[in-house]
A and B are shown apart, each in its own frame.
Chain A
Amino acid sequence: MKPAPFDYLAAKSISEAVEALAASGGDGKIIAGGQSLMPMINFRLVKPTILVDINRIGGLDRIEKHDDRLRIGATVRHHMTATDVLVFEHLPILQDAMHHVAHLTVRNRGTFCGSVCHADPAAEMPMMTLLLNGTITAWSVRGERQIAASDFFLGSLVNALEPDEFVTSIEIDTLKPDTGWGFEEFSRRQGDFALACAATTLRIEDGVARSVRFALMGVGETPLRLAAIEEIIDGKTVSESLLDQVSEALNDFLQPNTDLHASADYRRHLAGALARRALRDAWKRADLRKGKTDD
């Protein structure tokens, strides 16, 4: 199908973009990579009165490291994140995750921030933002505000932004040199959205897991950061019996949907299996990296 008519502005600055959004009275939309928005516009599922294109705003196409956080600007494309040297050195789990996002041609255009704003419950970057204690920076005519990732994902394709807010960058944790990580996803074909996915990071201190982060996606309306699972693992050795305990807990806790792609039971089973693999990988990597520091 073809899009319904709309106006278009190639904004040159953040203030021009937020003023246009405010003037549209809630019916304007930002377009970044367009890889999720354009399909919805072509099908007329979304009919904005104006599209505010942010691709020509200078200075937003950067990945920067500030202390132990990476800041990813609004026009940083997936392929750039996948090949960035800071990501390679300080956040190998993100590089791994990127390889599961769509296909190379889609990664040439799609952006990290656009993916997080789109808030697809089966998308990798929203989950990674939650796993890595992300902070979303949003601008509007009222000024700037920060939103914690834990407050950002409200439902399937629903985020905590006001209609006139523009996300200019997202900050996420880097991994300390002694941190191990695991990322496991199952999808039907290379580049398809996940049926389920697990991501985790941990360190080994005195023989037990510490600083555990654990997240899942594809099994709920939003990505899930699971403090209850992190608590089960914290202070323990990752053994097969601990992994049994984790999958049992997940089994009790998760309420995935049945849809065209998979039944709820199958998704729950996948989540358990992927969680086990991701935790085993994280433990192995943490063991190899034990005691490493920044220099």
Chain B
Amino acid sequence: MTEQKITLSVNGQSYTRMIEPRLLLSDFLRQEIGLTGTHVGCEHGVCGACTVVLDGRSARSCLTLAIQAEGTEIETIEGLGNVDKLGRVQEAFRQHHGLQCGFCTPGFIMAITDMLRHHPLETDDQIREALSGNICRCTGYEHIVNAVRELAKERGPLK
């Protein structure tokens, strides 16, 4: 239970902290470094609200220990843009009404950031499969699918 030192990069900035091994990455982001854009819904991997990008691939931050992230590069919603200057995925969500309460949105956007880099999203079936790991209780998903369809079209086929 002794605290251990970790250093990791979040959105390009390096952070070093002494932490207990049991600290979840989601709580590290929210409580240790104050990035509360990463949301916590279920804490058992089901809802996807806590999704971040870890070394280039999306991951549940509630199923990752902060200590396991030693030496890694994390991307969170804060790294993609802010209210004054939305990132491309955020902007597509705004245009297509891909959010209502917004609780699920950071998780969707981080998952989609990974999918746009690594997965074919040519058909609606592929898009819906890619989104299946995130739960939204408001939108009925249709508007989110519309946003992703536009982003996928813009990206073109995966190389």
Residues of chain A having any CB pair with chain B under 8 Å: 1-8, 10, 31, 34-35, 38-39, 42-43, 51, 53, 55, 79, 99, 102-106, 108-109, 189-191
- Report whether B59 and A6 are in contact in the complex, using a CB–CB cutoff of 8 Å: no
- Report whether A53 and B58 are in contact in the complex, using a CB–CB cutoff of 8 Å: no
List the 6 shortest-distance A-B pairs measured between CB atoms, nearest first.
A103-B133, A8-B21, A39-B44, A38-B63, A190-B132, A3-B22
- Report whether A53 and B68 are in contact in the complex, using a CB–CB cutoff of 8 Å: yes
Known: A5-B22, A55-B68. A104 touches B119 (CB 8 A): yes
Bound: A7/B132 CA distance, A: 34
Determine the residue in chain B with the shortest Cβ distance to A37. Answer: B63
- Report whether A34 and B24 are in contact in the complex, using a CB–CB cutoff of 8 Å: no
Determine the residue in chain B with the shortest Cβ distance to A34. Answer: B63
B45 surroundings in chain A (CB, below 8 A): 35, 38-39, 106
Bound: A180/B141 CA distance, A: 37
Determine the residue in chain B with the shortest Cβ distance to A77. Answer: B57
- Expressed in whole angstroms, the minimum distance between the Cβ of B42 and any Cβ of chain A is 9
Bound: A8/B6 CA distance, A: 13
- Report whether A191 and B21 are in contact in the complex, using a CB–CB cutoff of 8 Å: no
B48 surroundings in chain A (CB, below 8 A): 103, 105
Q: Total contacts A to B, CB within 8 angstroms?
A: 91
Is B51 engaged at the interface, CB distance under 8 Å to the other chain? yes
Interface of B is mostly: mixed
Residues of chain B having any CB pair with chain A under 8 Å: 1-2, 4, 20-22, 24, 27, 43-45, 48, 51, 57-60, 62-65, 67-68, 70, 111, 114-115, 119, 128-130, 132-133
Known: A5-B1, A6-B21, A8-B4. A105 touches B43 (CB 8 A): no
- Expressed in whole angstroms, the minimum distance between the Cβ of B145 and any Cβ of chain A is 13
- Report whether B58 and A104 are in contact in the complex, using a CB–CB cutoff of 8 Å: yes
Interface of A is mostly: loop
Known: A189-B132, A190-B128. A108 touches B59 (CB 8 A): yes
Bound: A189/B68 CA distance, A: 30
B129 surroundings in chain A (CB, below 8 A): 99, 104, 190
Known: A7-B1, A106-B45, A108-B58. A191 touches B133 (CB 8 A): yes
Determine the residue in chain A with the shortest Cβ distance to B19. Answer: A8
Q: List 11 other contacts, CB 8 Å, given A10-B68, A99-B129.
A: A5-B21, A35-B45, A35-B63, A38-B63, A51-B21, A102-B133, A104-B111, A108-B59, A109-B60, A189-B132, A190-B129
Bound: A129/B85 CA distance, A: 50
- Expressed in whole angstroms, the minimum distance between the Cβ of A225 and any Cβ of chain B is 29
A104 surroundings in chain B (CB, below 8 A): 58, 111, 114-115, 119, 129-130, 133
Residue from A1, A8, A102, A190 within 8 A of B65 (CB atoms) = A8
Known: A6-B1, A35-B45, A35-B63. A105 touches B128 (CB 8 A): no
